Structure formats: C-alpha cells, structure tokens
Structure 1
Amino acid sequence: MTGRPANKLMGSLGGVALIFISLFSLLPKEVNAQTSDGSYQMYGFNLVGSLPMMNKNGQSISSGDLQTPDGKMSLKIPLGTIIHNAAGKNQEFISAILVQNPASVPSQQQSVIAYEIGTPGATFNPTVGLAFNYSDAELPSNISESSLYIAQWNGSLWVRLASDVNTSFNTVSTTISSFTTYALIGGGSTVTTTPSATTTPPATTTTNPTTSPSTQASTSETSSSGGSSSSTMIFVIGGAAVLLIILLIAVTRKS
C-alpha cells in the first residue's frame, strides 16, 4: 500500500491515536502515584486547594485545606488525621458533589445548600473541619442567619450538628468524622442539636408534635460519587472506541 492510500491510512491512524489520548486524559485520577515509602497525595474530585499528603497507613503527614470551586463548602484536614474507607482501607480521594434536590428537611425549615462528600462511609480520626459559606442574598426571607446550622444525612433523616455561625463572615462551621451528605439548613427550631462528629449519628427528636419521620426525609438525592462518574466516562470511551474501529476498517477497505 503506497502513495495517497497509504498516507490516508496513516492520517486516519494518527487521528484515532489523538482521539484516544484526549479521551483517556478526561478520566479522573482517583489515586495518585505512591512514593518509595508508600506515601501519596490525596486526590480531590470537584475540590481545589491544598491536598494532604498521606503515609502508607492512611494518616496525613501534611494538613489539607480544600474548597469547592464555587467557594460554598470547605474542608480543613489537620496533620495526623487518619482517613479510611468503609472497609478500613486507605481512602485515597475526596469528592464533593452538589446535591440539587436534597431530602426533605423538618417542617418550618429550609435547605440552603447541600453537598455529598465522598465516598460515603469513609471516616476521619480525629475529626476534620467543615464549613459552609453563604451570602445574605441566598437566604430566604423567612430564614434568619442565627437559625442556620449544618446537618448530616444518616440515611433516613437529617441530624443536626453543633454549629458555629459567624454572621460577620457569613460562615457556618462544625466538625465531622465521616463522609456522607451535609446540608446548610435554617428556620424554626424543631430538631434537637446533637454533638458534632459522631460516627453513628443518633436519631433526631422533634419538639413539633405534627412532625413525623416521613416528613423529615424521603426525597431521593440526585447526586453521584466520583466512582460513578468514572464508570460513565469509561462507558463513553468504550462506545467511542467501537465507532473509531469501524471507521478505521472502512478507511482501510477504501484504501
């Protein structure tokens, strides 16, 4: 095969190679390369800032200060924090996914913003700092700044965490010990405050006799973790590969 057909085939192969390189560059890198002593830097999905370095046991050997790109949520990971997944293995990445439709909050209250921090089930020991940032314009007219608090989703209802509201800087902060969905909530006081950073959150109690667990939560969340995003990307790349192979065969036959 010589001349123009050969050049045409080589051009097609070059185009296929470039497309594959571009597609694979889009895959999220969930785990960064380890050093000779087994330490690694955590990877952040939808998070920016300084990521902590971890030793081979999953304990931070440098602190981390992470924020979502929109600046609405931030995490502070102290030096010496052990981060393990639900299986007790090293948790090598952190993801933050905006929850568009969080589960229903208690009556007379309203969710301002919610993030799923993943992967769910991973734990911190000791605790890490979590903060939500808000603007006055974002708060509904019936919600006062003093009523704001951070709540943790325990799988069936929202558990209120002891929260510090700073109205001067428009921040609400707490400490957490596990990955799950967290929301900034405000409104009437119908949920008993629980200590922050409990590994297994207790069920909340209410002072409003008309409030039932079914009204507190059962709307499904629409977010997804970094792992499902990776699976979707791999599926797309697989489909693209099939189409590219068909195109290559067609070009070869014409040549």
Structure 2
Amino acid sequence: MPRRIWNLTEVTMVAERYGREGPKQLAAVLGRSEDSVTGLARRFGLRSSHRRDRQAQARTLRNTTVDARFFETPSPNVAYVLGVLFCWGAIKTNTRHVLRLRCPIDRESVLVSVLAMMGSDHARQRGRRRILVEVGNSRLVASLVGGHGKPPDRAEPDPPVPTIVSRYITDFARGHLQAGGEVDQREVVWSGSPKSVQAIRDAVEDATGVTPAVEKSVGVKRLVAYRGPLQIMSIGRWLSANGNGG
C-alpha cells in the first residue's frame, strides 16, 4: 500500500492543533494513524498536553500499591467495599486524588479485609482512636466516583446509593454493618446515611419479613435496629446465604 504524502493543509492542521488536541483526535479527523500524526509532530518538535495525561495514566496503572481498576468491574467484593466506604470513607481531590479510610481501632480487621480486596499495601497511620489509610491513585478514585458516586461527606451527607447495590445488596449490607453497625445476641443495628440505610432496610425486610424495633435519626444519620432471637437469626441467614464479599 503506497505511503500517503502529507499535504500542506494537513501539515498546517497538525502544527496548529497538535499541542491542544493531541494525536488521537487529529488522527480521527485526518483519517491517519496516531503513530503517523505523532511522527509528523516530532519532526516539527511539537508536544501535546495530552502526552502528560497519558504518562500520568501509565504511571497510575503501573502503581503496584493498589489495584487501580478495582472499582471498574462490578462484583460482590466491590459492593462490600462500597458498604464500608459509605461508613468511613472519604474522597480528597484538592491537590491529588486520594481515597481516605478512617477506621475505628476496634474494627481494624474490617480495614485489613478491604485493603486486601483492593490489592493495597498502603501504610496504616495509627492514632489513639482511629487508623487512617490514604490511597492515592487517580484512576482508582475516578472510577469510584464516576461509577459509584462519592461516600457521604459534609457537603453531601446523604448521597445516592450506588447502582451496584441493587445487584449485590447483601454484600453492601454486610460491609456497611461491619464498618458502622452493631451485632450481638440482642440486636442488629445499621447506622449511616439515610438513603443507604433505607436501601438496606428495604432489602432485609423484603427477604426476611422482619420489622425494626427501633428507627430514628441521629444527627444527619439514620439508625435502624432489629431485636429478638428470631429476627437476628433470619437476618444472619440472609447475610450468610446471599453474600460473597467480605
């Protein structure tokens, strides 16, 4: 196949637009390969701002301290982690993209499970009452926020429940319970943002027929508690039989 010669109009377009649009978009417009567009740009000493973006993405994917693609494929483990994050997760994007996990000391085993699922070996910063882990990875955070939404924060204390929850509600409920609820021989308690607690309550009651003994608001949070041996057993069977994450 004969090699296509660059004409003056094409060369001018690359010279004027390469730095702003990058090779991919220009290749589509010109009907050429990205390599061809990049090769011409190099001959003229042109650089694209998109190059830095691609380099940053490549560094993100090479990052071995966490699975950057973890939130991109729906699974029971993703739903379980989301349940935990909706209790004590937070997103920071002011200087870099960071997922922050602030775990009560007595629930460190839950944190260990979450980090293992995410393939994270980030350091744990231990305080008097809480353990903090900061996972800095732009792709991980972007896929979490873009695919599932942000965990509750001061600006939005009651965000929508992630769509994945409808498919893996039991795993979300288990993660939420282990991170922010209470379980003993007397009761099972979920506490958190109203929408997430309502989604869990609807699923529990649809599956088991139990009814809450207590339901109340505590600040910006919602609390629902189930009491009595039969109700606790029914909920325990539901959580064990249907869940795969956690």
TM-score, normalised on structure 1? 0.28
TM-score, normalised on structure 2? 0.29
Greater helix content: 2
